[in-house]
Amino acid sequence: MRDKPTHHGVSHAEVDAETAGQRLDNYLLGRLKGVPRSLVYRLIRSGQVRVNSGRVRARYRLKAGDTVRVPPVRRRVLAAVADPGTGLGWLEARIVHEDERLIVVDKPAGLAVHGGSGIDFGLIEALRSLRPAARGLELVHRLDRGTSGCVMVAKRRSALRRLHALLREGAVDKRYLALVRGPWRHGEIEIDAPLTVGRAGAAAKVRIDAGGKPALSRFRLVAHYGPEASLVEVRIPTGRTHQIRVHAAAAGHPVAGDERYGDPELNARLETLGLKRMFLHAERIAFEWPDNGEALEVSAPLAAELGDLLDRLS
């Protein structure tokens, strides 16, 4: 992407082959670091952002050779995710892998992966501010706000396309750790139950539905913690919204700390033991790059508060 500065702060950027195929809104969110998502969409709707001198929708996919008009905008400070004392130093410390194509971040629970729905900034906006020279940063997949652990962020469009293809093929080994209600007596099981996303007020509410999207979860017992809870490992070849949480609840073992699909009595009990969040953690990601066969395996340890809870339950 080559910039051509003009008067009054407006710039015109020419789309190159690496950027081609990216949605206009995602391109602008990466370029206008520190600008709220809502403002980006307002700039597009008002016609201040144009492609080849014409108005386009936010979902327009850029083509090689397109010229994007980018107006001057005032950036906002990332106060929502920056620590006043260390800025974004905490985020640098949570990068568990980085190479020329990919960043893997150990996302903390409570941080959204992106802005939206009343949230100006999330992980991707913070990471773009931390790596201003990396203009092509894009989320490869998502984690619920309450889930911690490994999140992949592509540094190039070519890497994003390859990783999306691997995810569609179920070729990415994603493993989670979850504390669930009661003694797990199913052994190793597969739950193959399609899911549909509905709404419960302003929030998403997912349910099992024969007409929904395919969703497969593989559960394996890791450890019993008395009659109260069990730690399980979950592998998900698919990645639907709230998939593990809904499938675990359907098996009779809702995830501890889950306020939407969980057990209020269990949640209240574990809160007295220090659980202030949902006990769901994306522990491991592994795959092979399809172009050269290079294997990558990245893991993120359980957060200290989760490990402390397990010690208390023991």
Contacts of 238 (CB under 8 A, 6+ apart): 170, 213, 214, 215, 216
State the angle between helix axes of 24-31 and 123-130 in degrees (0 to 180), rounded to the nearest 10: 50
CA distance 306 to 299: 16
Beta strand pairing status for 95-98 and 67-70?
Answer: unpaired
Task: State yes or no: is 144 an active-site residue.
Answer: yes
Q: What is the largest CA-CA distance in the chain?
A: 69
Q: Which of 106, 144, 258, 263 is catalytic?
A: 144
Instruction: Report the Cα–Cα distance between both ends of the chain, in Å, rounded.
Output: 55
Burial 214-251 (b: 16+ CB within 10 A, else e): ebbbbbebeeebeebbbbbbbbbbbbbbbbbbbbbbeb
Per-residue tokens: 250: 């359907």
CA dihedral 104, 115, 257, 271 (to 10 degrees): 100
Query: 10 Å Cβ neighbour count for 270?
Result: 23
- CA-CA-CA-CA torsion sign (141, 175, 109, 106): negative
The answer to whether 110 touches 145, Cβ cutoff 8 Å, is yes
Least Cα distance to 194 among 174, 175, 217 occurs for 217
- Residue 282 contacts residue 243 (beta carbons within 8 Å): no
Rounded to an integer, what is the distance from CA 67 to the centroid of its chain? Answer: 30
Point out the residues that are catalytic: 144
